Amino acid sequence: IAGITQAPTSQILAAGRRMTLRCTQDMRHNAMYWYRQDLGLGLRLIHYSNTAGTTGKGEVPDGYSVSRANTDDFPLTLASAVPSQTSVYFCASSGTGGAGANVLTFGAGSRLTVL
């Protein structure tokens, strides 16, 4: 693993199903983020975690949940998927403090289609 790994790369999902997007980083970054990217809109923050054991809500948290049991993993769960959650999801991480703060490293993305 080098950087951030996301899985799955792509998924088609029936509405109402539960889905977990996985994210793992090997950079020992404290902060991790989940964004969604939709055509014509900027990246929108769903949830974030400043350090293991803590999480916070971003701009568009409804319908999503996260956990941060350890430094490396930050899964995103859709409890009951709806078509408006069709999007490309990016996991990102950053060091906290100093020059590294908020310089994000992104995973390759997970393209989710909810039918």
Nearer to other proteins among residue 2 and residue 14 (C-beta): 2
Which conformational region is residue 37 in: left (phi greater than 0), alpha (psi within -120 to 50 degrees), or beta? beta
Centroid of chain to Cα 28: 17
Closest distance of CB 17 from other proteins, Å: 25
How far apart CA 77 and CA 95 sit, in angstroms, is 24
Provide the mask over 15-54, with x wherever binding to other proteins is found by CB under 8 A and - wherever it is not. -------------------------xxxxxx---------
Closest distance of CB 111 from other proteins, Å: 9
Residue 113 and residue 9 in contact, taking contact as beta carbons nearer than 8 Å:
no
90 is an interface residue for other proteins by CB under 8 A: yes
